[in-house]
Amino acid sequence: MKLLTKEVLNNFKKTGSQEHLDDPKIIVKFFGGGSYSYYATEYNPDTEVFFGYATGLGSSEWGYTSLAELQAVKFAPFGLGIERDLYFGEKRFSEIR
C-alpha cells in the first residue's frame, strides 16, 4: 500500500505547521500490528519526516518518525507492514484521544 498519495501530501502542505496549536488537525492515520496507530499532524517532504502522535503497547507519545521507518516495519508472524487508514477523515487531536 502506498502510504502517501498526492492528495495526502497536498493536505499536509495546505495545513502547514501546527506546532503552536493546542488541538492540531490529524491529517492521516497509519496503523498496523493490531495495536499500533500513528496520527500524523505534519510532514516535511524534504526530509520525509512526520510529526504526530503514536499509540500502542500501552503507551502513547508525540514524536517524529520517518517515511522510511514506517515502510520498513514488519509485524510478526506474517510480515504485514504499516498501512494508511483509507477511511480516516481529518479530525482534531481532541477527537481521537
Residue 30 belongs to domain spanning: 6-15+24-87
Q: Does a structural domain hold residue 1? A: no
Q: Would you call 14 exposed, middle or buried from its count of C-beta atoms within 10 A (0-12, 13-18, 19+)?
A: exposed
Residue 56 pLDDT level (bands cut at 50, 70, 90): confident
CB of 62 closer than 8 Å to CB of 52? yes
Q: Does a structural domain hold residue 43? A: yes
Residue 48 pLDDT level (bands cut at 50, 70, 90): very high
Q: Does a structural domain hold residue 94? A: no
Average pLDDT over residues 62-85: 92
Q: Does a structural domain hold residue 59? A: yes
Look at the chain and report how many structural domains it folds into. 1
Q: Does a structural domain hold residue 54? A: yes
Average pLDDT over residues 2-26: 96
Provide, rounded to the nearest whole percent, the portion of the chain with pLDDT above 70.
Answer: 100
